[in-house]
Chains A and B, each alone.
Chain A
Amino acid sequence: MKKDILAVFGIVLIIALLISGTHIQSADEYYLTHIDDITPESETVTLSIRCDTVLQNYENLDPALKSAEFVPPDGVILPPTEYVLREGDTVFDILERAVRYNKIQMEFQGAKESPFGSVYIQGIHYLYEFSCGSLSGWTYRVDGEFPHYGCSLYKLSDGQNIEWIYTCALGQDVGAGWMGEDEK
């Protein structure tokens, strides 16, 4: 019987380890994020989320998403909004704060799970990678340029303009010249 107690203890230990690594929040608690008020001294950045390319390739879109609720007719998921920049904020931090504040659904792959060592945005507002053809996904642009690395590696500075845009052709249709690794 002693051996059994040891085995049970080991299993309990593993379960406890698994649970301690997770962080559970209720929906209200999650959306209750604090957005800093904009004061004259605070540094700010502008963020917008758009999906115009989906409207141009509407026939390729997943039938389940073909409604104005999931794809807004003007392609704007989040209009350009100013957010306060905190010390050391990356593009991902700003995006996460903004979608939480506006209650926009988002799914991402953590930096640890991604082979690029950066957070990968899988879907925003129910619009996922591959939802509109096999070359579609989310990409981002800062001050009109596509950084060729992940959004949690990009450190922001005052006054920058971030655009999250949905592409249906690996970035070619939104002006990113480099093939392949644009989707971050």
Chain B
Amino acid sequence: MKAFANIHPLVEMTYFMSVLIVSMFFSHPVLQTEALIGGILFCAALQGKKAARDIGFYLTLFLMVAVTNPLFSHNGVTPLFFLNGNPVTLEAVLYGVLLAVTVIGVLLWCKAYGEIMTSDKFLYLFGKAIPKLSLVLSMALRFIPAYLRQSRRVSRAQKAMGLYSGKSITDRVKNQARVFIAMISWSLENAMETSASMKARGYGKKGRTNFSLFRFYASDGVLLCLCLLLFMIPIMGAACGITRFTFYPRVDKIETTPAAIVVYAAFGMLALLPFILEVKEAIVWNCYRSKI
């Protein structure tokens, strides 16, 4: 079930960049909520039941970010209570919640990016123009997932040898520390080996051709135009000051003018686009299967 992964890389890259730019730089509650919902649905569609495993991590992170802001920022007209003589205000709490929504939204979109934009797609897009930088970037982007995979492997091997196989937390922490030390040398070695093997294959040399299966279909063109259009609307909104939203000293009212609603709707569409595609694909697939 990866309808979005079969689109041309150029469209995927444009799409991820536009969603990430809006969700990183626009501190507006409606847009951020849309980005978060879009991210959750997309990750759920991509990973299915596996996505539910990380909920605990994301909830903890959410709480931590949301609580941290009011502890350090005391601006705002509605004090809830006073901590060491400094006010903890409602405005700061709300801003903290928005920050948490932003952080988790961006994390989820980056996770989806990692699932969809594999190294070969990234190198296909940028390998010709900026070979060295794109190799470094693609290695950096796949570093964390590769690291996790390898560390699980090392940890399993250690368990099989009977080291630190106790169930207690301290044992597990000790095991993790041991694995971590092994992982540092592995990651350095791995980076060197990768670059050496790319060099051996003549990567970045003149006259080297690439083989790739990506073809730009008409539907990709339509999707690219749609994506750019939906991205331009929030940008225009920002230029007109519609997406400006302040929390201090008093929380703004959410604008409900027609122009503002167009901006919200456009970004909502953009954020939900991959989920809609996945659902459409699933329905079509089920239809075909029922006909067999």
Contact = CB atoms under 8 A, between A and B. Distances in A.
Contact of A30 (B82, B249, B250): B82
A1 interface: yes
Interface string B165-178: 00011110000000
A126 B248 contact: yes
Nearest to B241: A63
Contacts of B79: 27, 30, 105
Given A107-B74, A126-B77, A128-B75, A3 B171 contact: yes
The binding surface of chain A is classed by DSSP as mixed
B14 interface: no
B251 to A, nearest CB: 10
Contacts of B81: 24-27, 30
Interface stretch (B36-44, B83-91, B263-271): B83-91
Contact of A25 (B76, B82, B246): B82
Contacts of A96: 85
Contacts of B252: 64
A6 B168 CA distance: 11
Given A65-B249, A70-B249, A107-B75, A23 B169 contact: no
A147 interface: no
A23 B246 contact: no
Interface string B83-104: 1111100000000000000000
Q: Label chain B's interface by main secondary structure.
A: loop
Which of under 10, 10 to 19, 20 to 34, or 35 or more describes the interface residues of B? Answer: 20 to 34
Contact of B82 (A6, A26, A110): A26
A14 B106 CA distance: 32
A108 B74 CA distance: 9
Interface in A28-42: 29-30
A25 B86 CA distance: 10
25 contacts: A1-B168, A3-B168, A3-B170, A4-B168, A7-B169, A22-B84, A23-B85, A25-B81, A27-B79, A27-B80, A27-B87, A29-B82, A63-B246, A64-B249, A70-B249, A105-B76, A105-B77, A105-B249, A107-B86, A107-B87, A110-B84, A123-B75, A126-B75, A126-B248, A128-B75
Interface of A: 1, 3-4, 6-7, 22-27, 29-30, 63-65, 70, 96, 105, 107-108, 110, 123, 126, 128
